Chains A and B, each alone.
Chain A
Amino acid sequence: MQLEVKARPWTGSFEDPVRLHLMTAREDLVGGLRRYDLWGRLGWLEIKRRYRRTMVGPFWACISLLLFVIVIGSVGSGLLSKQSAEYLPFLVAGMVVWVMLQSTMLESVNVFVAGSSLIRQMNFEYSVLVYSLVWRNVIVFAHNLLVYLLILLIFAPGKLGFANLLALPGLIIMAVNCAWISLLLGMVSLRFRDLQQLVMSIVQVSMFVTPLFWPPDGLEGLRRVFFVELNPLYHLLTIVRDPLLGGKLPAANSCIAATLITIAGWALTYALFAKYRKRIPYWL
């Protein structure tokens, strides 16, 4: 069959400029960030949907967190022989941050699968899906802060103050990190579907090995180096948790570590996204 159509470069011309019909990773990430009205709305609608037809709505997240903190808190303060007034604030401050990290990781393995009907329909900034995921977890975080306020008011009102607002820069750094984590996990687990299960078990295990239920000083030697100093989740946790406990400035090494994690994480994610962004629709 003589059907081979020869490849000929297009040599026609138009009065007006034509542009190449494709989007780079940079255009995607920057342009996506500018569409804050869209990802803000998508994130918000998802929260609304999750709790539609429930009585207390998004406060269900708060109630379950409160229950968790009170129960685990009373067991933990007994096990670690700590005062409730000391242990519960520590636990709740850690948990509000952890919930954000954890649900970001768990939801990000599905971020592109959930947006598949959009990705198959049009060429848009895929990062919008990522930003909306991070945004809705920030909204949940804001709800959970109520539990934190309640526990601190009851057990350690002295640890509340304006200095606690130092957690805000830490929160921003964490949100920036959540964005790359979400984009990276979303991309890789779209291509390799096994990753979903792997991420789930890693998240589960890291909840216990990260100093969340126990103070970091409780470990010594090699174990401390491994589970505390070299644990990226610990540093991200610390930069928000420390200011939440009486406006303490986070340790310098955690600040430096968090900065390095942010740079390295985004560098890796950007490199992969730049290379594989165009493959994402094919992986669905």
Chain B
Amino acid sequence: MTSLVLDNVCVDFPIYGIQRSLRRVLFDRATGAFVQHDRDRVTVKALRNISFTLREGDRLALVGHNGAGKSTLLRTIAGVYQPVQGRILINGTVTPLFDVLPGIDPEDTAYENIRTAGMLFGLSPAEIERIMPDVEEFSELGEYMGLPVRTYSTGMTMRLGFAFATAMEPGILLLDEGIGAGDARFLERAAKRLEDFIGRSRIVVFASHSNALVQKMCNKAALMQGGRMLAIGGVQDILERYDVLVRGGGVGAAIEGAAVPA
């Protein structure tokens, strides 16, 4: 059974500024001040003590202000950032969708880009060939598929990326908001396809500012603020708490009586 466990996960981002220079480190080493410099090393505590457990069928929405740590949490689950503390336990494959077409190169054609991206996601050549007609059909790029991506409009590139991403068989799906765009007609088709795609996933973690989407897609939600997970629970309950937080009710009011994340 697919599962995802975060156990007391913390992530710090070191901010490299002047001390990024080799000269400074060598100089400091030579002057014996190397160890002392830790105190003016700036780190941002991006995630603090995040713990939760998701089982097959769980669809978790992450809500919170910009900079609350939603994207960092998604990238940490994706394995991009290793936690400085705590651990992540996983059963299943992770499908991260942040940039829809990873490794995209404007000089390559759509076919070439799909093959590269497919390989990056670990698809076999046979699997890539299998999804190709689906991508061709859904993106409606027609003859453009054989042209370099640099000749595409922004909307066309988006369509290609979206068509590719949603053609895959997702395991533990990590979605950042803002996936999918295009003209109105495409948006309508995209919404249906996205729903279907999320439905096929074993577990979904989804960062979004759209309450409507969250209510429709998710069965759980978590409220994030300042790198902490303040509360986790039912979608309606968490959205109401977020509302309190947005209206300036303060963190205390927002988490009053909430289930402690575990």
Contacts and interface: CB of A to CB of B under 8 A. Distances in A.
Interface residues of A, number: 46
A192 to B, nearest CB: 4
Interface stretch (A17-25, A146-154, A211-219): A17-25
A283 B16 CA distance: 8
Nearest to B23: A194
B105 A45 contact: yes
Interface string B238-262: 0000000000000110010000111
A82 interface: no
Given A14-B91, A192-B20, A23 B5 contact: no
B251 A122 contact: no
A243 to B, nearest CB: 36
B80 A19 contact: no
A20 B87 contact: yes
Given A52-B107, A121-B98, A21 B90 contact: yes
Interface residues of B, number: 56
A38 B119 contact: yes
A25 to B, nearest CB: 12
Interface in B10-65: 13-14, 16, 20-23, 25, 48-49, 51, 53, 55
Contacts of B21: 192-194
B89 A10 contact: yes
B115 A41 contact: yes
A5 B112 contact: no
Contacts of A117: 99, 102-103
Interface in B96-133: 96, 98-99, 102-103, 105, 107-108, 112, 115-116, 119-121, 125
Contacts of B86: 7
B125 to A, nearest CB: 7
B99 A191 contact: no
B103 A1 contact: no
Most buried by B among A3, A117, A118, A121: A121
A43 B103 CA distance: 13
B1 A16 contact: yes
Contact of A21 (B1, B89, B103, B229): B89
A19 B172 CA distance: 14
A37 B120 contact: no
A278 B7 CA distance: 18
Contacts of B1: 14-16
A282 interface: yes
A108 B87 CA distance: 32
A121 B81 contact: no
Interface SS of chain A: loop
Given A5-B261, A117-B99, A18 B3 contact: yes
A78 B8 CA distance: 72
Contact of B89 (A3, A6, A20): A20
A208 interface: no
B200 interface: no
B262 A194 contact: no
A8 B261 CA distance: 11
Given A1-B251, A193-B20, A124 B82 contact: no
A1 B82 contact: no
B116 A41 contact: yes
Given A37-B125, A41-B115, A118 B102 contact: yes
Nearest to A124: B120
Nearest to A19: B90
A6 B87 CA distance: 15
A16 B3 contact: yes
A192 B99 contact: no
Given A16-B3, A117-B103, A123-B78, A21 B88 contact: yes
A120 interface: yes
Nearest to A123: B79
A22 B89 CA distance: 9
Contacts of A16: 1, 3, 91
Contacts of A7: 8, 49, 86
Given A18-B5, A20-B88, A21-B90, 12 more contacts: A5-B261, A6-B49, A7-B49, A10-B8, A52-B107, A118-B102, A119-B80, A122-B79, A122-B96, A122-B121, A192-B25, A194-B21
5 contacts: A3-B228, A21-B87, A117-B99, A122-B79, A192-B25
Which 10 A-B residue pairings sit nearest by Cβ, starting from the closest? A123-B79, A192-B22, A278-B82, A10-B7, A18-B89, A21-B88, A21-B90, A5-B49, A7-B8, A38-B119
Interface of A: 1, 3-10, 12, 14-23, 35, 37-38, 41-42, 45, 49, 52, 117-124, 191-195, 198, 278, 281-283
